[in-house]
Amino acid sequence: MTPMGTDARDYLEWMEIHNYAETTIGCRGRYLGYVVAFAKDKGMGEAKEVTLELLLAYQHALFAHRKRDGRPLSFGTQAQRLVPVGQWPSPRQPDTWLCGQQVAVCVA
């Protein structure tokens, strides 16, 4: 497992500790898995290597992706796959959320 995969697993454990629903954790885990695989394909193994450009490329890949029947993913599905990326804690600043070079402070 890559360091980014380990970070994703730790985030899912954090969600479990904070009483997120099992279905939410399962979906977020699957969607983070897609991001981790995409980043690995681009030669990035650690969350600290994630840039805004990578996230924009991932967003574009979701837009360009086609289902088995040839149809594109719905905008709702694309959005659902992006949600965990914006809520994943940043390794650069643990009190912030990962969103590339632009980081939003977590107000909790």
pLDDT digits (tens, 9 = 90+) for 44-62: 888 778 788 888 899 999 9
104 pLDDT above the threshold of 70? no
CATH of residue 99's domain is 1.10.150
Q: Angle at Cα 55 formed by Cα 32 and Cα 105, nearest 5°? A: 85
Listed residue (40, 35, 41, 87) closest to 58, CA to CA = 35
Residues of the domain holding 37: 3-105
Tell me the whole-structure pTM to 2 decimals: 0.77
β-pairing verdict for 104-105 and 96-97: antiparallel
96 pLDDT above the threshold of 90? no
Two tokens, residue 67: 């289902």
Question: What local confidence, expressed as pLDDT, does residue 98 receive?
Answer: 53
Question: What local confidence, expressed as pLDDT, does residue 53 receive?
Answer: 86
Which is higher by pLDDT, 88 or 29?
A: 29
Q: Answer positive or negative: Cα dihedral of 32, 36, 41, 43.
A: positive
Tell me how far CA of residue 93 lies from CA of 12, 88, 96, in angstroms: 18, 11, 6
107 pLDDT above the threshold of 50? no
Name the domain count of the chain.
1
Listed residue (51, 25, 26, 27) closest to 38, CA to CA = 51
Average pLDDT over residues 9-19: 91
Which is higher by pLDDT, 48 or 35?
A: 35
What dihedral do alpha carbons 8, 54, 21, 95 form, nearest 10°? 70
Instruction: Encode pLDDT of 52-91 as tens digits.
Output: 888 889 999 999 999 999 999 999 999 999 988 877 765 4
